[in-house]
Amino acid sequence: MTQDWPLFEVFIRSRSGLEHKHVGSVHASDARMAIEHARDVYTRRQEGVSLWVVRSSDIMASDPAEADALFEPARDKVYRHPTFYAIPDEVKNL
Amino acid sequence: MYTQALDSLGKDCLPAGSTQGSALEARFQARVDADEKIEPKDWMPDAYRQTLIRQISQHAHSEIVGMLPEGNWITRAPTLRRKAVLIAKVQDEGGHGMYLYSAAETLGISRQQMIEQLLAGTAKYSSIFNYPTLTWADVGAVGWLVDGAAIMNQIPICRCSYGPYARAMVRICREESFHQRQGFEIMLALARGSAEQRQMAQDALNRWWWPSIMMFGPSDTQSKHTAQSMRWKIKRFTNDELRQKFIDITAPQAEFLGLKIPDPQLHRDEGSEHYRFGTIDWSEFQAVLQGNGPCNRERLEARRHAHAEGGWVREAAAAHAEKQRARAAQAA
Ligand SMILES: [Fe+2]
Ligand SMILES: [Fe+2]
């Protein structure tokens, strides 16, 4: 048996105005075929109006072991959220 | 999805039983207990990975082989409407196979390996697809009972601890419900038809009932993997619990159709609100699983044939992609 075709990650824009979202992956010999396979596999019920395919090997992912180092520093910065600030109820439009 | 990144993880990562290993294992179990999802690049015990690879690939194979018994009736569907519906359903099952193969690949097995295992006959798939679809009524019975049982099995897996499997399952479950309803509609049309049509529907129910309730797998007392799978939240209910639920909701549906479930012991237990049912012939289940069902050989032959017939297409596409790549490289 020959080698598997390359793997592509599939992203769908479900409606115009929304962002593309990852939905899964397909194997295909090239990008054009990946789009066609993605259409058959992931949009049989009008799930989207636009498709992106990206070679899986081109995706760089953050390391789960570094998740704390990367995302923890944001945890104690509650002052980045509007609810952190106490404003009297009488003050409107703020 | 991110399969290529997984090669360094898993089995060789840590010596089994090392203190570090068991600390990781305890952390892993704590995450599962807290209902966190495990993702492809996260650390996981090798046995968890192997269990999932086995289960997801078997599940994928079942969807793929499952296209055969119904595909058998596409050219002979009684109306254009039924034919369009059946094509859509069979195509969905192919799609389910694709979602699941993708999910399994995130655990470090290649698509090719899985296909090879299926074609070599070393991989298992659901025993139900080794039964023949003899009449059009079988297409109704399969949708109603087989997809019905599959839904019952699959809904809890939407909450499985392994993210890619759970997400594939959500997509699948969303698509399954039409499968069951179109099957029931076929049965309803036959049940309300001529005496001959009613007989066809009854005959299909007679043949599909027991195999369908065997789909939930061996009884809890015999099931080898249940306890561990439940601890890992791969499984949420036992085989017997799911089987009971299925029978409880299906028996009244059969009654509505005016058909008789082929189990003389089946009756509603007023005290518990559950249906009690007769003894399952597990020797039949074992025989089918071991390759001796009515259609095992035919199913595998059909898959091998399809794969071989598609060989030139795969080669041509690969050659074309290579040529395009070379041309682009030359132009650059
Ligand atoms: Fe399915
Ligand atoms: Fe289905």
pLDDT band at B158 (very low <50, low <70, confident <90, very high): very high
How far are the Cα atoms of B29, B39, B72, B233, B299 from residue B33, in angstroms, in the given order?
A: 6, 15, 44, 8, 40
In chain B, residues with a C-beta closer than 8 Å to the C-beta of A45 are 175
Identify from A4, A40, A58, A63 which residue to disrupt to test chain B contact, counting B C-beta atoms within 10 A and taking the largest count. Answer: A4
B273-291 tens-digit pLDDT: 999 999 999 999 999 988 8
Using 50, 70 and 90 to split pLDDT, how confident is the model at B223?
confident
Closest CA to B56 of B72, B40, B42: B40
Cβ neighbour number for residue B115 with a 10 Å cutoff: 20
Of A1, A7, A63, nearest to B3 by CB-CB distance is: A7
Q: Which residues contact B74 (CB under 8 A, 6 or more apart)?
A: B83, B86, B87, B90
Q: What is the pLDDT of residues B318-332, one digit of tens each?
A: 999 999 999 999 988
Distance CA B151, CA B161 (A): 18
Q: Closest to A59 (Cβ–Cβ): which among B2, B39, B105?
A: B2
Between CA B107 and CA B113 the distance in angstroms is 13
This prediction's pTM: 0.90
* ipTM (interface pTM): 0.87
Instruction: Give the Å distance between the CA of B172 and the centre of ligand 2.
Output: 8
The answer to whether the Cβ–Cβ distance between B95 and A40 falls below 8 Å is: yes
**Rounded Cα–Cα distance for residues B33 and B28 (Å):** 9
Distance from CA of A15 to the nearest CA of B (A): 18
pLDDT at B20: 61
Give whichever of B16-30, B69-83, B215-229 has the largest mean pLDDT: B69-83
Contacts of A53 in chain B (CB under 8 A): none
Please check whether residue B129 is in contact with residue B211, taking contact to mean a CB–CB distance below 8 angstroms: no
Q: Across the interface, do B318 and A27 touch by the CB < 8 Å criterion?
A: no
CA of B90 to the centre of ligand 1 (A): 9
Q: Is the pLDDT of residue B7 over 70?
A: no
- Please report the domains of chain A, with CATH numbers, ordered by start residue: 2-60 (3.10.20.520)
Provide the number of CB pairs (under 8 Å) joining chain A to chain B.
69
CA separation for the pair B286, B281 (Å, rounded): 9
Check residue B79 and give left, alpha or beta (phi > 0: left; psi -120 to 50: alpha). Answer: beta
Chain A environment of B88 (Cβ under 8 Å)? 44
Residue A47 Cα, gap to closest chain B Cα (Å): 11
**A7 contact residues in B (CB cutoff 8 A):** 1, 3-4, 105
For the stretch B105-132, pLDDT in tens is 999 999 999 999 999 999 999 999 999 9
